[in-house]
Structure formats: structure tokens, C-alpha cells
Amino acid sequence: MPGAARLASVIRREKPNVVHLGNGVRANFDGVLACWLTGTRCVCHVKGFEKYSARERWVAPHIDTLVCMTKAVEEHCARNGVRGRRTQVVYDALDEAAFVTRRDPATVRADLGIANGAPCVGVIGNVQEWKGQAVLVAAMARVVAAVPQARGLIVGGVHRAGAAYHEQLTARIRELHLDRCLSITGFRNDIAEVMNALDIVVHTSVRPEAFGRVILEGMVLGKAVVATAAGGVPELIDDGETGFLVPPGDEARLAERLILLLQDPALRQRVGRRAQAWAREHFGLRRHVAAMSAIYEELTNGH
């Protein structure tokens, strides 16, 4: 209540038509209360599978528009009894102008120690257990047996809770004798360029993700993407057309898809082209802005 009272004071002073709370219902409980106290229209943006209690269920009906990042998030809210006066799915978008490459893939590959002719797959994200990098490690043992020239990258810094997991990954790579074909790069600040140097972008999360931004980034760059079929991820990929989906933690299915794509460059290119067109049409910044603007306009006009 003290936080809500302080926010209400700011709202009364600034007199906004609409307040957009961008970090879910649970974290913005005081913001929803402040809007209710001041009679101000409220948008609450949910971008994850939050844990809800009676508190959130009680305050949710005072949210004018509950914006959910994916249908999976919307269904999670509904299952937990969290419903705004109106609920709408608005997919996140990628600003292509801000996700650009400046170096050619051959140069980036050389920096990473990847031979220019070697087909390369990579998973990108902080090194932590739920991201599932271990699934790629296990899959690569199968992949190199079928495609000996294949190479793999695990790209990302070590999360503060992932130090032990990082050590386990390193040990497992040695145990499987993958040292020469699978590398952990550590933190990189040139993700677009590293991703553009890959032939296949892999998403291996073993816990459902609400969205999976790295998937969209790979698609926008025209890459074939193989991703975990959980959470909101299946909404991003038309399986077999704009990418491939595999069950969480299924190293055999992941290896199967990777081998298929690595052995068929033409298939990679076709899937990548379709993925790029799909991403630009459904997850472009213009579409996202139009959807959010329409919500603001409707609330401002009193609908």
C-alpha cells in the first residue's frame, strides 16, 4: 500500500491517460492498485510464466488490458485465474535495424577457430542449467559420428548460478572427446555477427520459455532454427516449414534434425528463407507498434 500511495501521487500530478506496467502483474501489484485508486486506465504486460496467488487474482480485474507476450502466457494466466477486463496477445518484436552485422561470416568464423567450409551449429544464451546446453553437447556426439566435419558453439557468459554447470559442460565435452569440434566461447558482445556465422541456430531450453528471443533473431538472419517445443516457442515456428521443433531434453531428436540439416545445405537455405519472411511478417517492429498503439487509443477513447 505505501508503494501504491506514492505511485498514485505521481499519477495524480502527471495525469496520464494510460499507465503501462511492463513487468507483469506480480511485480506491478502496487502499480495496478495506484491506477485503481486514481481511476486511471491500466495496461499490464505479462512476459513470463509468473507464480500467482490470491492477491494477483484479486487485483487482475482492475487491469483494463492484460497484454500477454504469447498465447502460452495467456493460457497460463487463465489457468491461474488472472484475467483483466480485456486480455490480448501481442507478440514481442525484433528491431532489425538494431540487430545488424558488420563483419562477414568468414572473418567471424576465423576469430572463433571454425574452418570456413565446416558446417557449424550453435546455441546462444547465458550458461545455466535450464538453458539446456548439455542437450547440445550430448547431441553433438551423435552429430559428428554422422557428419565428421560438423562444428558446434556454446555462446554466452556464465550466469552467476551456472558456474558448476559450466564445469560440468566442460567435463562432459572432454569425456565425449568433443574438444576439437565443440567450443564454449564465453560472453560475446557481437551476438548478431556470431549468429550470422552459424549454419544452424539451436535453442535447447529444458524449461518452457514464454517466447525465446534468440529464435526470432536466428530467423531474421535467415538461419535454420531447431528449437525446444515448449512454452511459447511453438508459436514462433511452423515445424518443418520455418524451422524444426524437438521435445525438451531429447538429444536424439535434436541430433536427428541437426544431421538432416547439416547434410542438406539446400534444405537449410529453404528453411532459412521461409523463416526470415515469416519473422518479418509476424514479428516485425511495425506490427508490434501498431498493436500496442491500438490498445492505447482504445483506452484513451474510453472503449
pLDDT at 36: 93
- pLDDT tens for 139-182 read 999 999 999 999 999 999 997 888 999 999 999 999 999 999 99
Q: Report how far residue 139's alpha carbon sits from residue 147's, in angstroms, rounded to the nearest whole number.
A: 12
What's the domain count of the chain?
2
Domain that holds residue 28: 2-93+284-300
Q: Are residues 101 and 89 in the same domain?
A: no
Do 38 and 80 lie in one domain? The reply is: yes
Residue with the three cell numbers 552467476: 160
Average pLDDT of span 26-42: 94
CB 203 within 8 A of CB 215: yes
Dist. CA 276–CA 218, nearest whole Å: 8
Same domain as 128, residue 226: yes
Buried b (16+ CB within 10 A) or exposed e, 164-180: ebbeebeebbeebebee
Let me know whether 278 and 289 are in one domain: no
Same domain (yes/no): 135, 224 = yes
Q: Is the pLDDT of residue 75 over 60?
A: yes
Same domain membership, residue 111 and residue 33: no
The CA distance from 224 to 201, in Å, is 6
Mean pLDDT of 65-69: 96
CATH of the domain at 8: 3.40.50.2000
**Per-residue confidence (pLDDT) for residue 302, from 0 to 100:** 63
Cell 511478417, located at residue:
281
Domain identity same for 114 and 61: no
Mean pLDDT of the chain: 94
Q: What is the pLDDT of residues 207-261, one digit of tens each?
A: 999 999 999 999 999 999 999 999 999 999 999 999 999 999 999 999 999 999 9
Same domain, 248 and 177: yes
Looking at the fold, whether 288 and 262 belong to one and the same domain comes out as no
User: Parallel, antiparallel, or unpaired: how do β-strands 182-186 and 151-155 relate?
Assistant: parallel
pLDDT, residue 43, reads 97
pLDDT tens digit sequence for 257-278 = 999 999 999 999 999 999 999 9
Distance CA 214, CA 191 (A): 10
pTM equals: 0.90
